[in-house]
Amino acid sequence: MNTNYLPSDYLPIVVQLLAALGFIVGSMLVSHNIGPKRHSKKKDDPFECGIPTEGDARTPISVKYFLVAILFVLFDVEIIFLYPWAVNFLDWMKESREMAIAIFVEMILFMGLLLVGFYYIIRKGVLNWNQ
């Protein structure tokens, strides 16, 4: 396989890119310019299946959803650290016992901090949906 590409080898890609961009921009410009423009209250209304619109598209959602979502992501991401740790732990054990213990203590510390955070969340009442 040829691994030495010259900048000129990328020319077709550039041409493709330009053509794509040119088509999009060009067609938008053309349709915008030659199409008729008529404004009226009816015409400028958002239109959906012939039914009049009602309310706002962005309805407020309770902030609790966001909180739970963010907390989920937070803890989920931190749990991911456990996988590589767990997979490698046996190898560490074989290598040196002392090191393995140190690493184990570190993981306990990490989990401990997570638990402290979890306890904080519960005390704060974030997971309490009744309030």
Partner 1 sequence: MLSIISLSLFGILNLFLGFLKSRRVLLPATLLFIALAFAANLLDWNHQYVYFRDMLRTNNLFINFSSIILLTTFLTVAISRSFGTDEEHTHPAEYYAIMLFSVVGALMMVGFENLIMLFIGLEILSVSLYVLTGSDKRSLRSNEAALKYFLMGSFATGIFLFGIALVYGATGSFNLSAIGSYVSGGPTTGISPLLYVGLLFILAGMLFKVSAAPFHFWTPDVYDGAPTLFTAFMSTVVKTAGFAALYRLLTVSFTGVYGLWWQVLTGVTVLTLLVGNITAVYQSSVKRMLAYSSVSHAGYLLIAVAAKTPQSPSAILFYSLAYSIATITGFAVLILVAEQKPIEGRPDERYEAFNGLAKRNPLLAFSLAVSMVSLAGIPLTAGFWGKFFVFSTAVDRGMTNMGMVLVVAVLMSVVGVYYYFRVIIASYLKTGDSEPIGIRPLYRFILVLTTALTIGLGLFPDVVRQLF
- The reply on whether position 118 binds partner 1 by CB under 8 A is no
**What is the spatial distance between Cα 35 and Cα 125, in angstroms, rounded to a whole number?**
57
Q: Rounded to the nearest 5 degrees, what angle is found at the Cα of 41, between the Cα atoms of 40 and 46?
A: 110
- Least Å distance, CB 120 to partner 1, is 6
User: How far lies 129's CA from each of 58, 122, 125, in Å?
Assistant: 22, 11, 8
- The reply on whether position 70 binds partner 1 by CB under 8 A is no
Residue from the set 18, 28, 116, 127 that interacts with partner 1 by CB under 8 A:
116
- The reply on whether position 74 binds partner 1 by CB under 8 A is no
Candidates 15-23, 25-33, 51-59, 112-120; binding stretch for partner 1 (CB under 8 A): 112-120
- The reply on whether position 123 binds partner 1 by CB under 8 A is yes
Q: Tell me the helix, strand and coil percentages in the chain, rounded to 5.
A: 65, 0, 30
Residue 114's closest CA among 84, 78, 88?
Answer: 78
Residue 121's closest CA among 87, 81, 51, 70?
Answer: 70
Do 109 and 131 form a contact (C-beta atoms < 8 A)? no
- The reply on whether position 113 binds partner 1 by CB under 8 A is yes
- The reply on whether position 86 binds partner 1 by CB under 8 A is no
- The reply on whether position 58 binds partner 1 by CB under 8 A is no
Candidates 16-24, 25-33, 73-81, 116-124; binding stretch for partner 1 (CB under 8 A): 116-124
Q: Which residues bind partner 1 (CB under 8 A)?
A: 113, 116, 120, 123
